[in-house]
Amino acid sequence: MLIREATDEDWPAIWPFFHDIVAAGETFTYPTDLGEDLARGWWILSEPDRTVVAVDDAGTVLGTAKMNSNHMGNGSHIASASYMVDPERSGRGVGRALCEYTVDWARTAGYRAMQFNAVVETNTNAVRLYRSLGFEVIGTLPEGFNHPEQGYVGLHIMHKPL
């Protein structure tokens, strides 16, 4: 697996699984009917922020991550990141590799910590992955997310000093 910069040419491969993940409404706070143009603008970031794809030997896009400052100005020393792995490719280490990549990026770029703002508490695979990489839940917004099946559940803020 290779992790490389995402280009405009990658978007057609990203959008189908991006759409399915967002439309399912279980893991992101994006509108579930998010349109493609808005989605591309939210996901494909420009310098100094980054967007990458994980590809296999055949060049197939397996997943994607974006990484950025969590806040601007005097809050810009803490990074954030988001991940989407094609559900057909999940559970094979793609998410872990993308997460490790973003942590390395943030450390190299001089950020003091990383923060995830809205990890749905029922997204146990993501929470377990982030914990295994040293992130801790530092707070949970009660009933911060309206899960389509489980109703109102908590939204974790997860943090890792770098």
Ligand X SMILES: CC(C)(COP(=O)(O)OP(=O)(O)OC[C@H]1O[C@@H](n2cnc3c(N)ncnc32)[C@H](O)[C@@H]1OP(=O)(O)O)[C@@H](O)C(=O)NCCC(=O)NCCS
By the criterion CB under 6 A, which residues form the site for ligand X? 21, 27, 83-85, 90-96, 116, 119, 123, 125-126, 128-129, 132
Rg value, the chain, Cα: 15
CA distances from 27 to 2, 46, 130 (A): 25, 24, 14
Minimum CB separation from ligand X for residue 84, in Å? 5
Q: How far apart are CA 41 and CA 19, in angstroms?
A: 14
Closest separation in Å from C-beta 74 to ligand X: 26
Question: Which CB atom, from 86 or from 111, has the smaller least distance to ligand X?
Answer: 86
Min dist. Cβ of residue 101 to ligand X (A)? 11
Closest residue to ligand X: CB criterion: 95
Q: Which C-beta is closer to ligand X: that of 21 or that of 78? A: 21
AA letter at 45:
L
Q: 149: helix, coil or strand?
A: coil
Helix (H) / strand (E) containing 66: strand 61-69
- 147's CB contacts (< 8 A; 6+ apart) are 25, 26, 120, 122, 153
Task: In angstroms, give the least distance from the CB of 127 to ligand X.
Answer: 8
Q: How close are the terminal C-alpha atoms of the chain, in Å?
A: 25
Work out how close the CB of 107 gets to ligand X at its nearest, in angstroms, rounded to a whole number: 19
Pick 69 or 90: Cβ nearer ligand X: 90
Q: For ligand X, give the closer residue by CB, 24 or 38.
A: 24
Which of residues 73 and 148 has its CB atom nearest to ligand X in the complex? 148
